[in-house]
């Protein structure tokens, strides 16, 4: 009989044997499938998980936020004109790899609001439409002004909770008119929360409205740069001075990064990632041991079958091939099931985080998982297969 025909017969018999003993291997299949699914989800959704986690890192000290200043009072500053970030510089900062968003503000240390003939002094910030997302702020009530409000110079404002109480005596003032200087602004939202800090005493208006109607503002000397992830912070901070100097002449740039908070977050994230990957690897390794143990039990229980095949002319390599194919098909099928489970988990996680991982990345991870499963099956199944192939015919036939 041609070797090609024999090989296909061996494959068919091996697959049939795996199917017949599927209950014995159920735990092994689930272990490998879950480990594979975990690897796929971590590899494909890890970036999105980091991105969503970074959005809340101001609670841990704003680890992914870089503050850039143009300080005219530095001893090195030698130009008579007050420095400010130009539009070209801002666009260049936005286009840097690893930068999620950039917000530039203007500032007035003391603005006056008049309500029922009483004056309240407070710091005023003129912000663009990205200020809220860059700082991961959410309104206590109402809504923040947006890019459209900025572009159309609308007279709207956002008040910190403490400032709203000072002016109106309460915080439920969304929709009320607030007098700032000589202009009246509609209160669109109230700012508060743990991450806000002393900004609860500040007022905010669109930067274009501030530059048009407020006297005594600073120039656009302060920029907030939100990085995509904590791994991007050091890279962006390193190239930021060169980017600024390439688009405008200034010697007063100062870059502020909270390195201690960043290192603390990175250290925690590293341990969490290590734990997850070790758990996944341990699951797969236990699955490999399960294959090894199951194959050893299979070889022992099928000694008579092996003896009969050898007595009828089967060669050692045929027996070796049969049991190796059983081990490989078992691990491959487990990884394939893990791929389907991983896809389902990806869709659930993506729906919860309102994002979607790349399909190309998913299929790459599935390919790696299947490849690793073949290595796992070959490693776990080799010794039991070798032992089966070297079994003596007389001993095998005598076994009961």
pTM over the 0.75 mark: no
Calpha distance 294→363 (Å, rounded):
30
Q: Does residue 310 surpass a pLDDT of 80?
A: no
Of residues 62 and 253, which shows the higher confidence score? 253
Question: In 3-state terms, what secondary structure has residue 77?
Answer: coil
Of residues 33 and 207, which shows the higher confidence score? 207
Residues 190 and 159: beta-carbon distance below 8 Å: yes
Q: Where are the alpha helices (DSSP H) in 228-315?
A: 230-247, 259-301, 303-311
Per-residue pLDDT tens over the stretch 114-168:
887 789 999 999 999 889 888 888 899 999 999 999 999 999 999 999 999 999 9
Q: Read off the tokens for 214.
A: 């407020």
Kindly state the percentage of the chain with pLDDT values over 70. 84
Of residues 66 and 277, which shows the higher confidence score? 66
Query: What does pLDDT average to over the chain?
Result: 80
Q: What is the mean pLDDT of residues 277-293?
A: 75
CA 72 to chain CA mean position, Å: 38
Q: Which of 41-45, 241-245, 261-265, 322-326 is the most confident on average?
A: 241-245
Q: Which residue has the tokens 């590293």?
A: 270
Q: Which residue has the tokens 């860059």?
A: 134
82 secondary structure, DSSP code: P
- The residue ranges of DSSP E strands in 129-212, in sequence order, are 139-142, 156-160, 177-180, 183-191, 203-206
Q: Read off the tokens for 72.
A: 């005219």
Calpha distance 212→398 (Å, rounded):
100
Of residues 321 and 237, which shows the higher confidence score? 237
Report the candidate in 53, 31, 47, 40 with the shortest Cα–Cα distance to residue 277.
40
Q: What is the mean pLDDT of residues 60-66?
A: 71
* pLDDT value, residue 149: 93
Paired strand residues for 156: 186
Per-residue pLDDT tens over the stretch 252-273:
788 888 887 777 777 777 777 7
* pLDDT value, residue 396: 58
Q: Which residue has the tokens 């300080």?
A: 71
Calpha distance 332→36 (Å, rounded):
11
Calpha distance 337→155 (Å, rounded):
58
């Amino acid at each position: 009989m041609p070797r090609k025909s024999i090989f296909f017969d061996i494959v068919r018999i091996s697959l049939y044997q795996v199917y017949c003993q599927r209950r014995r291997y159920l735990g092994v299949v689930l272990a490998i499938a879950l480990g594979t699914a975990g690897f796929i989800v971590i590899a494909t959704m890890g970036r999105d998980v980091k991105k969503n986690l970074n959005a809340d890192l101001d609670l841990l000290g704003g680890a992914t936020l870089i503050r850039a200043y143009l300080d005219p009072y530095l001893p090195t500053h030698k130009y008579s004109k007050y420095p400010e970030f130009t539009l070209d510089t801002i666009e260049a900062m936005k286009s840097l790899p690893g930068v999620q968003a950039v917000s530039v503000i203007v500032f007035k240390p003391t603005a006056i609001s008049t309500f029922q003939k009483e004056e309240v002094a407070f710091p005023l910030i003129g912000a663009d439409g990205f200020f809220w997302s860059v700082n991961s702020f959410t309104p206590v009530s109402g809504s923040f002004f947006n890019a459209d409000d900025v572009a159309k110079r609308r007279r709207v404002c956002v008040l910190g909770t403490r400032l709203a109480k000072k002016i109106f005596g309460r915080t439920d003032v969304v929709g009320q008119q607030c007098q700032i200087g000589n202009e009246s602004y509609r209160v669109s939202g109230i700012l508060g929360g743990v991450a806000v800090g002393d900004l609860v005493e500040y007022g905010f208006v669109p930067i274009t409205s501030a530059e048009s109607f407020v006297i005594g503002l600073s120039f656009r000397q302060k920029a907030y740069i939100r990085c995509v992830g904590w791994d991007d912070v050091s890279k962006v901070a390193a190239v930021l001075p060169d980017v600024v100097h390439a688009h405008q002449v200034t010697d007063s740039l100062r870059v502020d990064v909270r390195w201690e908070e960043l290192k603390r977050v990175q250290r925690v994230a590293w341990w969490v990632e290590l734990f997850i990957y070790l758990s996944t690897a341990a699951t797969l390794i236990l699955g490999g041991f399960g294959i090894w143990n199951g194959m050893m039990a299979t070889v022992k229980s099928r000694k008579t079958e092996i003896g009969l095949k050898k007595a009828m002319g089967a060669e050692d390599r045929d027996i070796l091939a049969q049991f190796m194919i059983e081990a490989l098909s078992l691990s491959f099928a487990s990884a394939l099931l893990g791929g389907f489970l991983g896809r389902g988990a990806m869709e659930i996680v993506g729906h919860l985080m309102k994002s979607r991982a790349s399909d190309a990345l998913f299929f790459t991870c599935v390919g790696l998982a299947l490849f690793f499963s073949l290595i796992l099956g070959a490693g776990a199944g080799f010794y039991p297969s070798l032992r089966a192939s070297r079994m003596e015919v007389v001993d095998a036939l005598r076994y009961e």
